[in-house]
Structure 1
């Protein structure tokens, strides 16, 4: 079971860090809007990317850096736009309360956002396809067990984050709390956009 536990630990270490995807899952969990579909999309996306990395696609991606470059700039544009929208929510007078927040966002718009946040982030390809793929293939015959461990960590983390966020609903019953959250999300997304633009 060592490859499984190694994969579990490596994956958990990568996905627990606060980033665009986790911030979005957390916000949906607090709002209690389409949490299950968001969690399923995140976990399924991770599983597809991790298993692709185990299968060796990460090596092909490293050989085609132009693909990552296109994804990088698309990610910069998306994160910057998301930061602007979050900032507008933070500064507008009638900030949403937790109860009011539950009524906004169609399923298609929420799924479109989470898919964009997930698949337009070049770091997800580096983390899953390249890094986890390399670690998995170093396990030899245990590489698929490593991949299974990594996928299991992701499958546990996203429901924990999305549904666990409900415990914060009382705190977010105040409009000021939503404004603080959106302000933090705006800064995070803007920071990630700058990092992607100038650190790539």
Structure 2
């Protein structure tokens, strides 16, 4: 019980970082939203995105945690680079907060009366493509989360489990929200609040990473 309580802050930190990175709307999230709004294979799409993110997070945490023991300089460089990326990402989210825009989820079929039908195979392949062929997904999960885990030393695996949990929670919530709320989800006020929260969480995590260097 005492170990679980001691690990809770690290687990929570991983979860918060993961969600703050994923919440920044990109191709992967836009695809989940699109499938949810069209009500086509939402659950299947969400599961594929969840599993893909969990594997990418594992690659980052387990791989980069091995590098942490090579030298203090290497660890400092990686943590510093991660803090820089988070600061830049936070600024981008803050810029979207100042200049909010709703998503154009499907411009190719904006004038169509109904969306094209997607098969299960097409849904899986599309979700895999948005997860594995998207450089931002690799940067967010394998690189940034893996780098951030270095600051937690022996507890890096707990941090990684928290990050994976954050991914599961986010994609499940996003898929359900898109399915049940429909186009009311795609509102200016919602995206502005979301981007504001993302900016604060990213900057807060960047500050923690920089603090760990001293």
Q: TM-score, normalised by structure 1?
A: 0.64
Q: Determine the C-alpha separation between the residues in 2 that align with 1:29 and 1:5.
A: 28
Residue in 2 aligned with 1:88? 108
Aligned partners of 1:13 and 1:145: how far apart in 2? 18
User: Aligned residue for 2:117?
Assistant: 104
Number of equivalenced pairs: 142
| Secondary structure of 1:56 counterpart | helix
Deviation at 1:57, TM superposition (A): 5.3
What's the TM-score, normalizing by structure 2?
A: 0.60
Provide, for residues 96-150 of structure 1, a one-character-per-residue CA deviation record: whole Å limited to 9, x for no partner: 3xxx44x711011111111111111112112111111011122111101100100
1:26-45 → structure 2 map (5 Å cutoff): 26-45=33-52
Give 3-state SS (helix, strand or coil) of 1:138's partner: helix
Equivalences for residues 109-188 of structure 1 within 5 A: 109-169=122-182
Gapped regions of structure 1 (runs ≥ 5): 61-85, 178-200
Return structure 1 stretches of 4+ with deviation > 4 angstroms. Answer: 57-60
For residues 141 and 59 of structure 1, what CA distance do their matches in structure 2 show? 11
Which consecutive residues of structure 2, in runs of 5 or more, have no partner in the other structure? 1-7, 68-105, 187-214
Say if 2:22 and 2:140, in contact at 8 Å, map to a contact too.
Answer: no
Residues 65-80 of structure 1: matches in 2 within 5 Å?
Answer: none
**Residue of 59, 63, 81 corresponding to 1:56:** 63
Q: Which residue does the alignment assign to 2:3?
A: none
- Alpha-carbon deviation of 1:157? 0.6
Task: Label 1:134 to 1:35 Cα distance change in 2 as closer, same or farther (>3 A).
Answer: same
- Contact 1:136–1:146, Cα closer than 8 Å, also in 2: yes
Shift of residue 163, structure 1, vs aligned partner: 1.4
In the superposition, relative to structure 1, how do residues 171 and 127 fare at CA in structure 2: closer, same or farther (>3 Å)?
A: closer
* Matching residue within 24, 29, 54 for 1:22: 29
Q: Provide closer, same or farther for how the CA distance between residues 25 and 58 of structure 1 changes in structure 2, counting only shifts above 3 A.
A: farther
Please, what is the CA RMSD of the aligned residues?
2.5
* CA shift for structure 1 position 34: 0.5
